[in-house]
Structure 1
Amino acid sequence: LKAITQALNNYRDGLTGTAGRLARYLDATEEDIRELALRYAKHHLPELRKLDWAKKRLGAPVPGKTVSSQLARVNDARFWRRAIRTRLLREREHLFLRLRLVGQRAEAYVSDVQLSTRVAQLRRQDQWMKETILLPRYLMPGDEQKTLTLEQVASSPKSRFAKLYAFTKAMDELAQEAGLSAGMLTLTLEPEWHPNPSHGTGSWNGASPRDAHRSMATRWQSILRDLDRAGVGLSGLRVVEPHKDACPHWHIWLLYQPDAEAAILATVMKYFPNKLKVRAPSRQGEKNTANDRIFDSRADLFARVSRPLTYANEGAQVELSRIDRSISNGASYAMKYLLKTVDAGEQLNNEVGLFPDIENDAEKKAKRKEHKAAARRVDAYRSLWGINAGQLFGVAKCLTAWDELRRLAAAPDRPELRHLWALARGSDEEGRINSGTGQRGNAKGFIQALGGLAACGKPPKGISRQSIGRLTEPGLNAYGENIERIKGITLVERTRQRVPASRVNRHTGEITTKLAWRSVKTVIAALHTRLTEWILAPQKTLPMAIKLAQARFVEMTGIDVSA
């Protein structure tokens, strides 16, 4: 009995071991978390001892740039509430993964418990956005109509993905004009990263989906770095999709020079070395064909030694599906992978062709219902593990600048910025763009104005190009740390120049200086896009908030309103 008891205790500790001191709170409710956060914030210890105590409970160092800002956090119940909630939700889901409750033959992507938590969170968020009012910090008396609800100004998932689709289409058009090839690269992690594999014997290393995603991201950054050093540029869209057992895999829509394909695949297999499948162009969703080839190793790829598939659905860690644009549009091909796990609305689903082969209306409705249910589960998965759905690469960071320029009602004075402003708005007419007007920007022209695609190659040395940066001003956050607040955008000119560069010999310690090519940037213009400072006010206290804003306006301007 003693041995059985010890074995049960060891099994229990193994299931909850990574939660540390918070393991006993894995079933805590929201009220329990608030009570625990308040207790931790009021816990009295000498300063440095409390930081060490907090580190043990969080399982990680307390965030903060200085000791004083770290202490401000551990004495703040709001910090503890957010930190404990995030940690407990992830550890609880990790427990379900260890129990094999998530997977192909169980609950898909995420547990039902976490799905319910996410649905309740979204419901509270929607209610809060409806009841929270935005008003200017300094409000002129008589301008009470200048208030908005957060619901009116917040971007929705549908609008975000519609914007991403517009840029993806623009990138595909530019790629076709430049004669670039397109392909869909799928990267999968090794078996030990899968908590509950649908095939084969489990060999899970115990890592969370967040750890698995970080491993993928680290390898991908190494791939881009190696290719850049070799003079090979890539552009495209990265999409993260979970397996049913919550282990992530990546679908990457690639744009590249046709003669660079071998170098790209060799570099990818350096970091994902287990088998490569190269698929001949076909319509998305079609089964493997006789033209599909398998390379069992990187050495086989270098030697160009391939073989046909051993069986119909043979998989590989790396899979490249070449895209023939006469068969399938590249942008739609890429977005289908993203929209498989995102409900972006009827219009975008139809435009991309998410349900192209369904003629029966009842069957189509059933498919849409199934798609929405899967999208909700994947949304809960991404929210829990902090994983972004999709991201563009090999193109100027222009999505934020696009939004900043579209919000600006008046045209900038600087000609280059005025050109970008007109491209983002789709018109050179001034005034606010109201929702539902259908006024669309020129994403293709916007990308071209900011340097085009990295896949087309680097500009010649000595040739300047323009890009967009952030205009910031210093400020303080709630914990007394210096931060940079975004106030607008800057127009930056980048030129590759030979500049003095120092290098240290790691064997002798000798420092040598020589000229090397470096990217030199110069800010040539700045544009404030956030001209009004806004504050949040609950709807029930709005009259008082308006009076305070008007009083601040009178105090700042010295205007006698009564006169």
Structure 2
Amino acid sequence: MGHALSWHGLRSEDWASIEPEDRKYVKSMCRKHGELGRPLAVDYLHRAKESRINANTRLRALSEALEMGKTGLTATVHDGELKSWCKRHADEIEKACEQWTKRAGVDEAIRYARDRVESCGLVFPIANPDTATREEWGHAMARVFDPRWWRLQARRIQARKIEAVAREIRLVHKDAGIYSSDVTVKRRKGQKRRNYDALTAMEAVNEDGEAVNLAELVKSSVSNPVNRRAELMVRIKGFEQCADAAGHVGVFITLTAPSKYHRMTYIKSMNRALPNKKYKGYDPRETQAYFCRLWSQIRAQLWREEIRPYGFRVAEPHHDGTPHWHMLLFVAQEQAERLRAIIEDYGIREDGKEWGAARQRVKIVNIDPEKGSAAGYIAKYVAKNIDGHGLDEDLYGQPADSSAARIDAWASAWGIRQFQQIGGASVTVWRELRRLKLDDIASDEETSVEVIKAFLAADSSDWAAYTMIQGGMTVRREDQLIRSNYEDDGKGRYYQPVKRLVGVVARGFGDLATRVTRWVIQRAGTVDKQAERLEAMEREDAYPRGSSLEDLEREGQPMTWDEMQALADRVLNCGADSAPPWTRGNNCTPVQGLHEPAPPGGGTITGNAGAMGSFQA
């Protein structure tokens, strides 16, 4: 009995205060939700003091909010159980669709699949069923038959359900789990550890036999926090240099959402977080959507008045996980006041009459070069949201390094983009140019001087020079001197046409290939084992019994270095599958044996188990 009491988080006297007929109900509701069981029980006890009926109703609602559709699975299950759940549903739907197709046709099979997916709490992969083409339906069914698609969707929903309930029962705020709940932070750490272990177990090999461990790729990519922060600061500093040369001024803007978006209120004088009585149930993604709409309206008005700001936007959480925006913008000096007026006007249009709106919702600071640089002003916000480098504490007195980890968990759970460039030249082209060597460009007599200058600027991390060569701080993407170059790359895993970044194309010059070598992903150590087998064959002057040339072929599909690196980054940082990484995600090259699916209404869809299956009309 003592163990049970410690599990559900209630002392003996607290448990005795619950009505006897409710105790079994409370136990059953809390027990199935793992790490959230204890805080759910505590929340129930708090509510039961005011109203037993309301406490029971709320506990049921919270429990249902944690369920994955109508399947009985809860969001707090371990990843192994979730993977089994995904595979079972994908396989069952594939087999059932075959039977539905034989009995009633493809349309009924699709209808069954949609109902089954939605009953599991997932969104069927067709944005608009009424206008979808026959090919789009085929692509959607390919996803539904694939356990990997289920895992991706289920993990995303799982993380958001956990965090939504954690915010509702006040586990996310300054005095509890700042920025994100302890449950989500723990799960995020475990996720990254599993994914890193998976990457360590895999390697990539090219046609020359060179092998690279996937985990090592992360260290040289922008997913490495050190590299990510350094590149951001280079770009920010470059914009500031452009502004100084053009005589433009910088403004630092902070946008805060209306009170109804905030779960908790921080009382600075009391150094406490209290429930916000005006809260209307919005989650961080909905708050982020509010800011995106707001900025879209502001940007449209600026465009109408021919005001072209450029700079960076940072999205970060308040202590309760509600996002707010910081923006460092540069603009012509004569347009600065109008820019400020437009942002202040639109910033308080929603609930602008509530107390404190005029003072708190929009804050604008003019950057004074005599007091410090604009890049230095925003540097602490960049560091705080990446790795806490150079900071001791955050705004709430928490250690900066631990706060950065919690912010990472927050951004991952809610799918919020933390940094965004406003205006300026393409960073993709910048990265592609940095992959080249001077000999790759200078050896071609037709290479223009401007292209060489752009390469030298990128190679020397001079964002200001690169930006000006590309056309300036407010140049449109289609007007830039150098643009990204993509080419068709066959069909993806779900049979959709895909394009591959192969290099850059310069106006008046032509294209420059930056991705030539193709790589194949396989399990670590495969190259060494193959070498040993080849040596054994050479010694015996014959193939070992039972072997064939096919046994020596590398598994997987060819990839470029950057595609392989992007896969490693995605697996480690975006919650991808912790099983052996697949070749190119949804953009993989076609796997031999898979065919373009026939659309609903007739034809035959064939494929491998778990991807498309046999779907015959």
TM > 0.5: yes
> Does residue 1:203 correspond to 2:278, yes or no?
yes
Does 2:424 match 1:395?
yes
Superposed displacement of residue 56, structure 1: 3.7
Match of 2:406 in 1: 377
| Offset from partner CA, 1:36-88 (integer Å, 9 cap, x none) | 10111122243211123213423423258711111111111111112111111
Give the superposed CA RMSD.
3.5
Note closer, same or farther for the CA distance 1:368–1:451 as it changes in structure 2 (3 Å cut).
farther
Partner Cα distance (1:180, 1:24) in 2:
56
Match of 1:105 in 2: 175
Report the AA paired with residue 451 of structure 2.
L
1:147 pairs, out of 199, 211, 214, with 211
Corresponding residue for residue 151 of structure 2: 81
- Does residue 25 (structure 1) correspond to residue 25 (structure 2)? The answer is no
1:449 maps to a residue whose letter is I
Distance 1:368 1:405 in 2: 42
1:375-401 alpha-carbon deviations (Å, 9 max, x no partner): 11111111111112212111112x221
Shift of 1:26: 2.1
Residue segments in structure 1 that go unaligned for 5+ positions in a row? 277-295, 298-309, 356-363, 427-440, 494-523, 557-563
**209, 215, 225: which is aligned to 2:290?**
215
Alpha-carbon contact 1:55-1:62 (below 8 Å) kept: no
- The answer to whether the 8 Å contact 2:388/2:403 transfers is no
Q: Does 1:404 align with 2:432?
A: yes
**2-side partners of 1:342 and 1:131: how far apart?**
26
- Look up the match of 1:444: 464
- 1:534 and 2:549 correspond: no
Read off the aligned partner of 2:417 and give its amino acid letter: N
Contact 1:193 1:205 in 2 (8 A): yes
Which residue in the other structure is 1:134 paired with?
A: 204
Aligned to 1:419: 453
Alpha-carbon distance in 1 for matches of 2:72, 2:471: 51
* Cα distance in 2 between the residues matched to 1:260 and 1:315: 23
Distance in structure 1 (CA, Å) of the matches to 2:530 and 2:297: 51
With the length of structure 1 as denominator, give the TM-score of the two structures: 0.72
Which residue matches 2:367?
A: 323
Contact 2:71 2:119 in 1 (8 A): no
Q: Which residue does the alignment assign to 2:238? A: 170
Instruction: Map Cα deviations across residues 350-384 of structure 1 (whole Å, 9 max, x no partner).
Output: xxxx46xxxxxxxx9xx999111111111111111
Q: Pick the structure with more strand per residue.
A: 1
Matched-pair contact (CA < 8 Å) for 2:482–2:504 = no
Label 1:12 to 1:392 Cα distance change in 2 as closer, same or farther (>3 A): same
Distance 2:551 2:306 in 1: 56
Give SS of 2:493's match: coil
CA deviation profile, 1:110-142 (whole Å, cap 9, x unmatched)? 011111111112222332333321111xx2xxx
In structure 2, list runs of 5 or more residues that go unmatched: 1-20, 23-47, 101-108, 128-134, 268-273, 535-549, 559-617
TM superposition score normalised by structure 2: 0.66
Structure 1 residue 9: Cα displacement: 5.0
1:475–1:485 contact (8 Å) kept in structure 2: no
| Residue of structure 2 in register with 1:60 after alignment | 123
- Percent identity for Structure 1 against Structure 2: 24
Q: 1:238 aligns with which of 302, 310, 313?
A: 313
Higher helix share: 2
Distance (whole Å) between structure 2 residues aligned to residue 369 and residue 208 of structure 1: 23
Identify the residue that residue 58 of structure 2 maps to in structure 1: 11
CA deviation after TM superposition for structure 1 residue 274, in Å: 6.5
Are the structure 2 counterparts of residues 5 and 486 from structure 1 closer, same or farther at C-alpha, using a change threshold of 3 Å?
same
CA distance in 2, matches of 1:206, 1:216: 17
1:266-345 equivalence runs, <5 A: 266-273=341-348, 315-343=359-387, 345=389
Question: Does the 8 A contact of 2:429 with 2:482 survive in 1?
Answer: no
**Does 2:114 match 1:51?**
yes
Distance 2:428 2:339 in 1: 29
The answer to whether 1:93 aligns with 2:156 is no
**Following TM superposition, by how much is the alpha carbon of 1:545 offset from its aligned partner in structure 2, in angstroms?**
6.6
> What is the alpha-carbon distance in structure 2 between the residues aligned to residue 402 and residue 261 of structure 1?
29
Task: Letter of the 1:188 partner, please give it.
Answer: T
Classify the secondary structure of the residue corresponding to 2:70.
helix
Q: CA deviation at 1:176?
A: 1.0
C-alpha distance in 2 between matches for 1:419 and 1:160: 24
Q: 1:176 to 1:170 in 2, by over 3 A?
A: same
AA aligned opposite 1:98 = E
1:194 to 262, 265, 277: 262
Distance (whole Å) between structure 2 residues aligned to residue 130 and residue 315 of structure 1? 51
State the shift of 1:6 in Å: 6.2
For 1:69, the aligned partner's letter is H
Using a 3 Å threshold, how does the CA distance of structure 1 residues 328 and 550 change in structure 2: closer, same or farther? Answer: farther
Matched, 1:38 2:38: no
C-alpha separation in 2, matches of 1:369 and 1:98? 22
